[in-house]
Chains A and B, each alone.
Chain A
Amino acid sequence: AQSVAQPEDQVNVAEGNPLTVKCTYSVSGNPYLFWYVQYPNRGLQFLLKYITGDNLVKGSYGFEAEFNKSQTSFHLKKPSALVSDSALYFCAVSPGGGADGLTFGKGTHLIIQP
């Protein structure tokens, strides 16, 4: 069975600073990895995904994520944080695509301070 760990419940970053939201995964075979974002009182929105190829994946709103197979990690990053980036971020994993394999982490609250 696959699993996702987001070790930080909350991350605080000053506006303009770089941000990182951590995610590690466990899955058999080659993983499909995802990041979703949830703004208050809204559903989740797809940010980006990694399937194969370049380990650095670029997504919406200037976010990117780095796949590291040896560390089984898929950390979300952004070079310069905006206050509007404040939200709940979910990492998800699938063992090889397909709806039945999508497992979400618990989520990390990202708070960008002005």
Chain B
Amino acid sequence: DAGVIQSPRHEVTEMGQEVTLRCKPISGHDYLFWYRQTMMRGLELLIYFNNNVPIDDSGMPEDRFSAKMPNASFSTLKIQPSEPRDSAVYFCASSPPGLSDTQYFGPGTRLTVL
């Protein structure tokens, strides 16, 4: 298996622009998580899905952030409009059925907002 796939690996954009991050979970996994990692705040859970349904989005920082999972093999995290403080590494992770606490992480997307 190719593992969790994220794209793009790096994104540089200007403040105010829309940013879309993409994730393909491991086939057969039914949990999908979005995390943000910064030096100051460490690793933060933003939102997670189970069977394509959002379960907990309490970690989403504000309304500028939105996430979707239209099917079992694809999810997006969108920031609109982006701000410099959104600069971070964004990770997607997935878990197999019955093992939601054993998570497989993607390589991450390094986002820089100028």
Residues of A within 8 A of B (CB): 32, 34, 36, 41-46, 49, 90, 94, 97-102, 104-107
In the assembled complex, the Cα of A41 lies from the Cα of B103 at a distance in Å of 18
How many of chain B's residues touch chain A, expressed as a range? 20 to 34
Offer 27 A-B interface pairs, CB within 8 angstroms, sorted by A: A34-B101, A34-B102, A36-B105, A41-B107, A41-B108, A43-B4, A43-B93, A43-B105, A43-B107, A44-B91, A44-B93, A46-B104, A49-B101, A97-B100, A97-B101, A98-B100, A99-B48, A99-B56, A99-B100, A100-B48, A100-B55, A100-B56, A101-B101, A102-B45, A102-B103, A104-B42, A106-B42
In the assembled complex, the Cα of A34 lies from the Cα of B103 at a distance in Å of 10
B106 adjacent to chain A (CB < 8 Å):
yes
Is B43 a contact partner of A98 (Cβ separation < 8 A)? no
- Extra pairs beyond A46-B103, A90-B43, A102-B103 (17, CB < 8 Å): A34-B101, A34-B102, A42-B108, A43-B4, A43-B91, A43-B93, A44-B43, A44-B93, A44-B105, A49-B101, A49-B102, A97-B100, A99-B48, A99-B95, A99-B103, A102-B101, A106-B42
In the assembled complex, the Cα of A48 lies from the Cα of B72 at a distance in Å of 27
Is B31 a contact partner of A99 (Cβ separation < 8 A)? yes
In the assembled complex, the Cα of A34 lies from the Cα of B99 at a distance in Å of 13
The 8 closest A-B pairs by CB, nearest first: A43-B105, A99-B100, A44-B105, A106-B42, A104-B43, A43-B106, A100-B56, A94-B101
